[in-house]
Amino acid sequence: MQLFLGIDGGGTGCRAAVADVAGHVLGRGAAGPANIASDPDKAAENILAAAGEALAAAGGGAVAAAGLGLAGANAAGATERLREALPWPRVAVVTDGITAVKGALGPDDGVVVALGTGSVFAVQRAGMIRQIGGRGLVLGDEASGAWIGRTVLARALRAVDGFSDMTPLLAGLLDEMGGPDGIVAFSLRARPADFATLAPRVVTSGDPAAVAVMMQAEADVAEAVALLRASDDLPVVFLGGLGTAFAKRMAERFAICAARGTALDGALLLAREAA
């Protein structure tokens, strides 16, 4: 039986699915983070683990082609390094933003806002995809979970220095992390997924510092959507772990529609195209 493998890998986790030629999903698997730029060795290990679990659930067999949508795939050299670790005969590797668009929009025109550990924004017109952002926490990832976590910690340090008011949320973070020096120590060892663990409390908080962080996040999302839409009134699909929260917050700004499918569906479509 001819099998197709789809992989959706981000900064928080990796999902895999195996489908037959008719598109029926036969098995699924999951593993840890799969950002091939920030931690290529661990990412490859998790990709293979998730794929192995999905193949086992499907009853085994040979993979004819694999489609991988991965965080970090836009970093120079990252895709080439990964390919050396992959055993499948035909492999297509793109950013997780591209597979998110393919899954969410199908053949339709629209804008996709994917907000998870990282962030990426894309537009599809007549089957052509343009992606912006998605360049990692050091250089971007605006409005992502990692960005929100890093930004609220930076705001806590600015409050310590007297640049802004200390709030209950910021004071709690300082106490939890052992003061300003503890936050600095955390920042030196933290990966994007570590910063992202702080995002849920910011997103749901009415604390003034949290409100300020989320206002900036919303402004960054609105700026990206406006750039991608240009003069077209395209619908917007929100995806990712923070997608639902932002869709609710920004419902009056955009014509928001539900996704047709997931980034994993897009990865399986990519695998079929690769074959």
pTM of the model: 0.78
Selection from 137, 121, 159, 184 nearest residue 35 by Cα: 137
**Angle subtended at Cα 168 by Cα 162 and Cα 174, rounded to the nearest 5 degrees:** 65
Domains observed in the chain: 3-106+260-274 (3.30.420.40), 107-258 (3.30.420.40)
Q: CB neighbours of 95 closer than 8 A, spacing ≥ 6? A: 69, 70, 71, 73, 74, 120, 131, 134
Give kind and range of the element (H or E) at residue 237: strand 236-239
Taking only the tens place, the pLDDT of each residue in 189-218 is 998 889 999 999 999 999 999 999 999 999
Taking only the tens place, the pLDDT of each residue in 38-95 is 888 899 999 999 999 999 999 988 999 999 999 888 888 888 888 888 999 899 999 8
Q: Is the separation of the CB atoms in 198 and 153 below 8 Å?
A: yes
